Chain A
Amino acid sequence: MMGVAWVAVGSALGGMARYGLSGFVANRIGETFPWGTLVVNVSGAFVIGLLAALVAPAGALPGDATVRQFAIIGLCGGYTTFSSFSLQTLNLARDREWGRVFGNIAASVAFCVLAVWAGIALGAFMFGG
């Protein structure tokens, strides 16, 4: 039951951070390409990598349920979004911006998976994961 509360609080904080940062990036760089969502998803993927190393069997807090529920499922899960990625990709396709469609898909997948790898590597160095 406490787990649900941790997930709720983490998701609420993550969602607010996503709204704040993606709006800030969109205002700064413009909205012809969904940079805001990309920045949020890549940074969230990096942090989830760090946290995965923290709770890994060889990490500092192996299998810690609170870190998983509050930070991994809550914060990172609420912070990043697949639905906005899908909607923004659809909108680019409706505008026939095919270069941006494939750029957004390729950049999102490649940079997020790379960010996870970098997060796990740094996390293993910091926490011994």
Chain B
Amino acid sequence: MNVLVTYLVIALGSALGGVARYGCGLLAVALWGATFPWGTLFVNIVGSFVIGGFATLTAPDGRLYVGPLGRQFVMVGLCGGYTTFSSFSLETFALLQQRPLAGASYIGLSLVLCLLAVWLGHALARKANE
């Protein structure tokens, strides 16, 4: 029963996260065009920031208590469904073939900005926990 509820909560979070990612992707193409995968870059940065902050805010010594199910909903469901490594990989492969410099920039930007974002989320949450 517990396992079933966990899976349902993760399914719900992933569905919401996935639809939000889809919306951001469409919006990014409308705003900035499709020559560079801005949409995927954006969702991966935002999702990394949110998971970094939420993980620290809801840690055992954190300020916010949400319980294991709440953590799974937000971290595994929402953030996991919102961000994507498969689209990142496909877009990287396509860019590397057509415009190697753009492909290398996409890898570098994704890694640096997502890791900075998860660290920033964590650091801000740690301040908030004090």
User: Do most interface residues of chain A lie in helix, strand or loop, or is the interface mixed?
Assistant: helix
- Among candidates B10, B16, B89, residue contacting A112 with C-beta atoms closer than 8 Å: B89
On chain B, the residues within 8 Å of A13 by CB distance are: 11
State whether the Cβ of B107 lies closer than 8 Å to any Cβ in chain A. yes
Interface residues on A, range: 35 or more
State whether the Cβ of A49 lies closer than 8 Å to any Cβ in chain B. yes
> CA A15 – CA B4 in complex, angstroms?
14
Shortest CB-to-CB span from B74 to chain A, Å, is 10
Alpha-carbon separation in the docked complex, A16 to B7 (Å): 6
Q: Could you tell me the distance between the alpha carbons of A83 and B53 in the complex, rounded to whole angstroms?
A: 11
Q: How many angstroms between the C-alpha atoms of A52 and B111 in the bound complex?
A: 24
From A16, A20, A76, A115, B84 is in contact (CB under 8 Å) with A76
A72 → chain B closest CB, angstroms: 8
Main secondary structure of the interface of B (DSSP, over half): helix
Query: Which range contains the number of B residues in contact with the other chain?
Result: 35 or more
- Would you list which residues of chain B between 1 and 42 have a CB under 8 Å from chain A? 6-7, 10-19, 21-22, 25
B residues 67-111 in Cβ contact with A at 8 Å: 72, 75-77, 79-90, 92-93, 96, 107, 110-111
- What 10 additional pairs, Cβ within 8 angstroms, besides A74-B18, A83-B50? A10-B18, A15-B80, A41-B86, A77-B21, A77-B87, A78-B81, A82-B85, A83-B75, A109-B107, A113-B89
Identify the B interface with A (CB < 8 A). Answer: 6-7, 10-19, 21-22, 25, 44, 47-48, 50-52, 55, 72, 75-77, 79-90, 92-93, 96, 107, 110-111, 114-115, 117-119, 122
**Interface residue ranges, A against B (CB under 8 Å):** 3-4, 7-16, 18-20, 41, 44-45, 47-49, 52, 69, 72-74, 76-87, 89-90, 93, 105, 108-109, 112-113, 115-117, 120
